[in-house]
Amino acid sequence: MKLERIRNSDLHQKIMSAEQACDFIEDGMTVGMSGFTRAGEAKAVPKALAEKAKLNPMKINLMTGASLGNDLDKILTEAGALARRMPFQVDNTLRKAINNGEVMFIDQHLSETVEQLRNKQLPLPDVAVIEAVAITEEGHIVPTTSVGNSASFAIFAKKIIVEINMLHQPELEGLHDIYIPSYRPTRTPIPLVKVDDRIGSTAIPIDPEKIVGIVFTNKSDSFSTVSEPDDETAMIAKHLVNFFEQEVAEDRMPANLGPLQAGIGNIANAVMMGLLDSDFKDLTMYSEVLQDSTFDLIDAGKLSFASGCSIILSERWNTQVFNNLDKYRDKLVLRPQEMSNHPEIVRRLGIIAVNTALEFDIYGNVNSTHVCGTKMMNGIGGSGDFARNAHISVFVTKSIAKDGAISSVVPMVSHVDHTEHDVDILVTDQGLADLRGLAPRERAVEVINNCVHPDYRPAMLDYFERACERGGHTPHILEEAFSWHTRLETQGSMKQS
């Protein structure tokens, strides 16, 4: 059974334990691992590596697609094994280490990491550790539930360790579409013109000589922890669906909206669920991560095709999808994150991008990453790849957080991930602000009237009016711009007492 998964029999001799495979990873090395939004990460080698680091202190520079599952970011952090980490994470323990300055975190647009490797602007991985369902006759690697950066990591690394996870169905083979842009100066257009185009291969083409170890595992991906829509997220979804209906009515969007992208997390998932109760059909997705809502929409006959770079599901949906892959096979493709997020394609296809903000300000600037301007939450992820070039760039957030101690709409964001130039629509449970074609002073009125929670509206209006008295294209009172944040830090609430 196991050996059938390694169809190139020369490679059978490379089978070893995770501990043995770890011998290829040395202190100071740069390691590229599979894994994206807690799907398809190598499971055994990182764990063995943490054990090794606990005995003999060592640190690596770890690159992945995005976040690792099965608490691996936590385990590696606790073992002191991480010197540097890029380009994304969502783990509480690692987050603390980053914010304490113990792990150097490089927060990147997710389409750009492998471009920077290709151009030698980042150190190339010494070793790649890639989860696979199989190795082909040619010695090529068939990824599992995410592609992420795995293809380029394997191509760039000097040595490759493959983890074959027997728990993943072999039927995953065929789901992937691995396309790698050619080198400049002879790079050609990416030939993808429709969400369901296949332009690459189903396995990662590498020289099998580079495979130094093959480890068998048998462990599930983590299940997603998205919560059911609540009153606020349902309201956000409702405002957005109303907006889409208007756009179609006014002929600014086609009847099926155009390819949808939805960010990670609870709110984006809830927004997609909102489409379930709408009249829209023939929807498509060209997104990064496919969550439960993707499959709800497929099963409801509303979504005809979904392109992503990873699939992360709740336990219920996980069983449903991966035990019935034939049902979904012709409606799915998984691509490298460079392709799922590529600005060339995002602009060409005219994506409807929906991402979640931590906070946004009255002029339309968005903070996706830094709590009170300093503490990293997760990272910018792919939100910038999509927002910049989308047909419409939407950011959603609840109007308040932490039982109202925080207003997620603020006078000035404490960190900018998406500038006013890249934001078209803002939505909270309170309503929707359409910023297209508006000057900053006009945007502020839209945002204050439609998005700010009533508890904070008078204070916001007061700030804006006093700022306007001082003048400027984008009126602000610099010495007060962050007073809501500093009040939160010193008094536990943004509310004026």
Ligand X SMILES: CC(C)(COP(=O)(O)OP(=O)(O)OC[C@H]1O[C@@H](n2cnc3c(N)ncnc32)[C@H](O)[C@@H]1OP(=O)(O)O)[C@@H](O)C(=O)NCCC(=O)NCCS
Residue 383: contacted member of ligand X, a second copy, none (CB under 5 to 8 Å, by partner type): ligand X
Q: Segment contacting a second copy (CB under 8 A): 205-213, 238-246, 298-306, 416-424?
A: 416-424
Tell how far CA 363 is from the center of its chain: 25
Q: Is 59 annotated as a binding residue?
A: no
Cα distances from 205 to residues 19, 135, 186, 489, in angstroms, run 26, 10, 20, 51
Rule CB under 8 A: which of 316-355 touch a second copy?
Answer: 342-344, 347-350
Q: Segment contacting a second copy (CB under 8 A): 67-75, 140-148, 200-208, 371-379?
A: 371-379
Q: How far apart are CA 472 and CA 342, in angstroms?
A: 36
Closer residue to ligand X, CB minimum distance, 213 or 411 = 411
- Smallest distance from a second copy to CB 244, Å: 14
Strands 406-407 and 400-401: antiparallel
Q: How far apart are CA 339 and CA 354, in angstroms?
A: 18
Q: Does the footprint of ligand X cover residue 415 (CB under 6 A)?
A: no
DSSP letter for 122, please.
S
- Smallest distance from ligand X to CB 309, Å: 9
Q: Is 382 annotated as a binding residue?
A: yes
Closer residue to a second copy, CB minimum distance, 12 or 158 = 158
Residue 43: contacted member of ligand X, a second copy, none (CB under 5 to 8 Å, by partner type): none
Q: Does the footprint of a second copy cover residue 475 (CB under 8 A)?
A: yes
| Residues pairing with 420 in the sheet | none
How many residues in the shown chain lie near ligand X by CB under 6 A?
24
Q: Segment contacting ligand X (CB under 6 A): 140-148, 297-305, 371-379, 470-478?
A: 371-379
By Cβ distance, which residue is nearest to ligand X?
A: 265
- Helix ranges restricted to H, 366-455: 383-389, 440-450
Residue 374: contacted member of ligand X, a second copy, none (CB under 5 to 8 Å, by partner type): a second copy
Rule CB under 6 A: which of 374-403 touch ligand X?
Answer: 377-378, 380-383, 398, 401-402
- Smallest distance from ligand X to CB 396, Å: 8
Q: Specify the residue for token string 């050609």.
A: 188
Q: Is 324 annotated as a binding residue?
A: no
Q: Is the peptide bond before 87 cis (omega within 30 degrees of 0)?
A: yes
Closer residue to a second copy, CB minimum distance, 103 or 214 = 103
CA-based nearest residue to 262, from 382, 84, 430, 162: 382
Rule CB under 6 A: which of 83-102 touch ligand X?
Answer: none
Rule CB under 8 A: which of 478-497 touch a second copy?
Answer: 478-479, 481-482, 485-486, 489
CA-based nearest residue to 119, from 156, 88, 157: 156
How many residues can be counted in the chain? 497
Q: Tokens representing 311? A: 């699939």
Rule CB under 8 A: which of 170-189 touch a second copy?
Answer: 184-189
Q: Name which position in 406, 412, 426, 427 contacts ligand X (CB under 6 A).
A: 406
Closer residue to ligand X, CB minimum distance, 263 or 431 = 263
Q: Name which position in 26, 27, 28, 119 contacts a second copy (CB under 8 A).
A: 119
Q: Name which position in 5, 14, 109, 168 contacts a second copy (CB under 8 A).
A: 109
User: Catalytic amino acids?
Assistant: 288
Cα distances from 9 to residues 2, 210, 377, in angstroms, run 12, 15, 45
Q: Does the footprint of ligand X cover residue 405 (CB under 6 A)?
A: no
Burial class (CB in 10 A: 0-12, 13-18, 19+), 124: middle
Q: Does the footprint of ligand X cover residue 111 (CB under 6 A)?
A: no
Q: DSSP for 289-335?
A: EE-HHHHHHHHTT-EEEEEESEE---HHHHHHHHT-HHHHGGGEEE-
Q: Does the footprint of a second copy cover residue 255 (CB under 8 A)?
A: no
Burial class (CB in 10 A: 0-12, 13-18, 19+), 190: middle
Q: Tokens representing 45? A: 């080698």
Contacts with ligand X, residue ranges (CB under 6 A): 263-267, 288-289, 355-356, 358-359, 368, 371, 377-378, 380-383, 398, 401-402, 406, 408
Q: Which residues are annotated as a binding site for CoA?
A: 378, 382, 402
